[in-house]
Structure 1
């Protein structure tokens, strides 16, 4: 893991490139949450955005995924401009702090939801769910209600669900912050190993330096809306 300067712009290798991104929320006065951020995430690389609450890191992540509309700047993947592309067409996955699982679906139903919506055949979908249950260490729990899972198990299901549709980038917004300290340390290692085994690029938001160092190849510090 290294601490790297923010990079971006044309000429970068494949992967995610964010250039001069600005996110402004309306108000009196307007709030500039992200101020000219540029960064790059290479294929198979995990980059962490590290900073205190309110520094703009979740707003930057939201603009990358497409759930927050940037005021200016660009988001691209392999030189394809995605700045105005709808969320569902970016092929990016997201893991939230609380997992946001569907309580009416069992574990397998949650993991298989994305492939189902994408029209994947039933046999292929079952195979993908079984594969990911093994990857996240939850073999045999496919029929378990998500309400019966521990916090760590729920986050594993959330991770598997986000990986099920084979995203080219996974965005993780404080994915372990709701867990106790010991479980966070152990799960940080597991999530790091899962991401690398799947070869997926990832952008991680965290306020925990130890978590960033454990999970990321590079760490970018953020303060007052700017990458340092």
Structure 2
């Protein structure tokens, strides 16, 4: 599941996620301010959505599904603000370090900020968009190895509570899996079959990829592809 630029759906819909073989809500928690901290920009500072996010944490916790917290770029495509990212995770890693189940999506430079406050929280790296196979997939493997070398001092370190987030491309997922890395696909499209190379944002009842509460849109296709729906050990 993925939400962006809108509030969460009603509690009954969140609870119904498990009936559709989903186990998580992927939530863009805040949109960064390109001018932070030295300019006005959109006027936002890290933590501006804390009350709204507290509500999202409470509601997904009550439904016993994962909440994946992501820093969004809004309409600031191909732009980035490392100072905002660092301070964003300084706020929220400490705020939600004791919440479980849950996960966060980060960039490499913020990893130590997360781990200092929340050593046991699952962490998703990179959040690639539109990553293809071939050289692009090989580059993702190289990124993971570079991260491991910088953080664990071993390019081939085994990840135990980390994974790579990606919005599309089964080719890249295959390459990363073969290299030993777990992958979380954060967006789903039903345009070409059970697993599509074309990714779209999807909501519970009405999104570009169709209504996921309709079994023919998602669940039946995944079952036909022999993808298991065994209970996630992180949820009850």
Q: TM-score range by the shorter chain?
A: 0.3 to 0.5
Bigger RCO of structures 1 and 2 (CA < 8 A, at least 6 apart): 1
Structure number with the higher strand fraction is: 1
Superposition TM-score, scaled by structure 2 size: 0.32
Superposition TM-score, scaled by structure 1 size: 0.33
